[in-house]
Structure 1
Amino acid sequence: MPDRISGASAAPKPTGAPAAPTRVLIVDDHPMLREGIAAVIGRQADMAIVGEAANGVEAIEQYRAGRPDVTLMDIQMPGMGGLEAIQRIRAEDGDAAIVVLTTYPGDTQALRALRAGAAGYLLKSCIRKDLLDTIRTVHAGRRAIAPEIAQEIALHALDEKLTERETDILRLVAEGHPNKQVAWRLSLSTDTVKAHLKNIFAKLDVADRTQAVITAARRGFIDI
């Protein structure tokens, strides 16, 4: 047997296969937004698109089919919205990592999404700047909440919340119904509706119906 060559360099250690890319599902009812997000993600070596959906029902189907690592979920969509889709996906897979994409930095909507199981919350206006970091953060098992939204949550943390009845009244007001119609639809007296509106104005720190609707929508109490 030949002698071992003294001082010979050891064979290089295998570096192993490259890490699999983060698999992303995009859920939004606007095709152009989905295309824009897909274009950004498509340029990343560590990410890959595994599906797209336009509503909550499609989101659940695409999640089951593709089992993405991270799902980007719009909130306001026709048919089944994002919050219900988050709840259903998380009920099937408790490890599902979901990032909410939204136009409004409302504290109430954000808290609903986080309680439903969302791991991230990102404003659509910040997608170009923060999307990739948010995906990587959530995929690593950490939460990622936009600073604007975190500030809104902190700002209103001690505020008295609207009751279910007050929210119902505001939805009807947002649709343009006067007090008499609101009262008729909810089987209340007009005086009771007026009393509820007074409480709503105080809780939202507004002076009239229009401001109440705008503020309630911005904070996520109602959709308009």
Structure 2
Amino acid sequence: MSFGRPHRAIIADDHAIVRTALSATLSDPDAMDGQTIEICEEVENGIEAIRAVRQHRPELLMLDVTMPHAGGTEVLLEARRWSPETKVVILTGVEASGKIAELVATGADGIFCKSDDLGEMTRAVPRILEGARVVCSRFAKLLETASEAEPLTTRERQVLNQVVAGRTNREIGETLGISIKTVDRHRTSVMGKTGAHSAAELIAFALREGLIDPNSSQ
């Protein structure tokens, strides 16, 4: 049984098999706890996702976080700009606490892991359409574990990104306008907080936690 008028949805993912699976699931009222969802468009890149949201103003946007031309965070912000009432559900295979925390802070209504089956997401979508915000259990545990670790300061993140870029302490100091001694102190602090013992381990940590920021040198 359908509850009121159908909800319109856009599916944005650069993998056709994912779009097909999501479309079949969302279109099944039994799977959606009686809610009727109509797929008004499927798109395969971020620019098309933004265009589709502007055109349709849907109730629901199912959004892959990593797509060509515009990433999930950018699309989410644009969706909020053009269609504030649209509920945005993020799907990602990136299991990095830094990235998940960023998506939560940006205001995603739902965040789910592509490594999981569709069950948890399927049960959550009707609640999200009613106004709930849901983070899947896998990511909730990831965020809980990350919150127990001592966070990096803004300056430490800047130094970390410079290390990832392959710059020496002297180059980092010149870029950030600080002394080599201060760079070394921040670098030592970062290694202590992350448990890294080399530049390679710092890079691995930054990649794993989604901390690499291409604008960090600005």
> What TM-score do you get using the length of structure 1 for normalisation?
0.75
The count of corresponding residues between Structure 1 and Structure 2 is 209
8 Å Cα contact 1:70/1:138 also seen in 2: no
Choose the corresponding residue for 1:37, options 22, 27, 45: 22
The AA in structure 2 aligned to 1:26 is I
1:66 paired to 2:56: yes
1:217–1:223 contact (8 Å) kept in structure 2: no
* Residue 6 of structure 1: aligned partner: none
**TM alignment of 1:44-193, pairs within 5 A:** 44=29, 46-177=36-167, 179=169, 182=172, 190-193=180-183
Does the alignment pair 1:219 with 2:209? yes
- Measured against aligned partners, the alpha-carbon deviations of 1:23-54 in whole angstroms (never above 9, x if no partner) come to 22122233343233234334456332222233
Tell me the CA shift for residue 62 of structure 1.
0.7
For 1:36 and 1:82, the matched residues in 2 are separated by 19
Corresponding residue of 1:8: none
How much does 1:164 deviate? 3.9
- How many Å separate the matches in 2 of 1:176 and 1:53? 37
- Aligned partner letter, 1:60: I
Residue 78 and residue 166 in structure 1: after superposition, are their counterparts in 2 closer, same or farther (change >3 A)?
A: farther
**SS of corresponding position for 1:50:** strand
RMSD: 3.0
CA offset at residue 124 of structure 1?
A: 0.8
Change (3 A) 1:216 1:184: same
Paired position in structure 1 for 2:6:
21
5+ long unaligned stretches in structure 1: 1-14
- Percent of paired sites with the same residue: 27
Contact 1:99–1:119 under 8 Å retained in 2: yes
Report the residue type matching 1:89 in the other structure: A
- Which whole-Å CA distance do the structure 2 matches of 1:34 and 1:177 have between them? 41
Report the Cα distance in structure 2 between the residues aligned to 1:137 and 1:53, rounded to whole angstroms.
24
Aligned partners of 2:46 and 2:157: how far apart in 1? 23
Larger CA deviation: 115-124 vs 204-213? 204-213
Q: CA deviation at 1:211?
A: 2.7
Kindly name which structure, 1 or 2, has the bigger radius of gyration based on alpha carbons. Answer: 1
Superimposed CA distance per residue, residues 162-192 of structure 1 (whole angstroms, 9 cap, x where no aligned partner): 3444334433443555556655655665544
